[in-house]
Structure 1
Amino acid sequence: MPPRPDLRHERALLRAGARLVVGMDEVGRGALAGPVTVGAVAVDLGTRACPKGVADSKLLTPLARERLLPALGRWGLARAVGHASPAEIDALGIVAALRLAGRRALAALGTVPDVVLLDGSHDWLSAPRQPGLFELGDDEVAVAARAECDGYAHLDGVAVRTRVKADRACASVAAASILAKCTRDALMTELHERHPDYGWAENKGYGAPEHLDALRALGPTPLHRRSWRLPLAEEAAAEEAAAEGAAAEGSPADAPGPDERWAMMDS
Structure 2
Amino acid sequence: MGRPKPIRTSSLDELRARFLEQGEPASPHLIAALRRDPRQGAQTLAEQLSNSRRRALAEERRMLSLLAWEEEHWTRGVVRIAGVDEVGMGPLAGPVVAAAAILHPHDRIDGVNDSKQLDAEERTRLAEIIRSRAVAIGIGEASVEEIGRINILQAGLLAMRRALLALSPEPELVLVDARKIDGLPWPQEARIKADASVHCVACASVVAKVHRDAMMTALDETYPGYGFAQHKGYGTPAHLEALERLGPSPIHRSTFHWGGRQLTLFGS
TM-score by length of 2: 0.69
Which letter does structure 1 place at the counterpart of 2:91?
A
Is 1:168 matched up with 2:225? Answer: no
Is 1:41 matched up with 2:101? Answer: yes
Following superposition, the deviation at residue 196 of structure 1 comes to: 2.0
User: Residue 8 and residue 223 in structure 1: after superposition, are their counterparts in 2 closer, same or farther (change >3 A)?
Assistant: same
Which letter does structure 1 place at the counterpart of 2:170?
V
Which letter does structure 1 place at the counterpart of 2:202?
A
Structure 2 distance, partners of 1:33, 1:203, is: 10
Is 1:198 matched up with 2:254? Answer: no
Following superposition, the deviation at residue 230 of structure 1 comes to: 6.3
Which segments of 5 or more consecutive residues in structure 2 lack a partner in the other structure? 1-54, 257-262
**8 Å contact from structure 1 (residues 32, 230) kept in 2:** no
Is 1:110 matched up with 2:168? Answer: yes
Aligned pairs (5 A) from 1:156-235:
156=185, 158-228=186-256, 229=263
- Deviation readout 1:223-254 (Å, 9 max, x if unpaired): 01113346669xxxxxxxxxxxxxxxxxxxxx
**8 Å contact from structure 1 (residues 38, 105) kept in 2:** yes
Q: Which residue of 1 aligns with 2:118?
A: 60
Structure 2 distance, partners of 1:232, 1:51, is: 42
Which one has more relative contact order, counting CA pairs under 8 Å at least 6 apart?
A: 1
Largest Rg, 1 or 2:
2
Which letter does structure 2 place at the counterpart of 1:163?
R
Structure 2 distance, partners of 1:214, 1:76, is: 40
Matched residues, percent identical?
40
**8 Å contact from structure 1 (residues 27, 177) kept in 2:** yes
CA RMSD of aligned residues (A): 2.3
The count of corresponding residues between Structure 1 and Structure 2 is 202
Q: Which residue of 1 aligns with 2:259?
A: none
User: Residue 29 and residue 94 in structure 1: after superposition, are their counterparts in 2 closer, same or farther (change >3 A)?
Assistant: same
User: Residue 49 and residue 17 in structure 1: after superposition, are their counterparts in 2 closer, same or farther (change >3 A)?
Assistant: closer
TM-score by length of 1: 0.69
Higher-helix-fraction structure: 2
Which of 162, 174, 179 is matched with 1:122 structurally? 179
Following superposition, the deviation at residue 32 of structure 1 comes to: 0.7
User: Residue 220 and residue 200 in structure 1: after superposition, are their counterparts in 2 closer, same or farther (change >3 A)?
Assistant: same
Which letter does structure 1 place at the counterpart of 2:232?
K
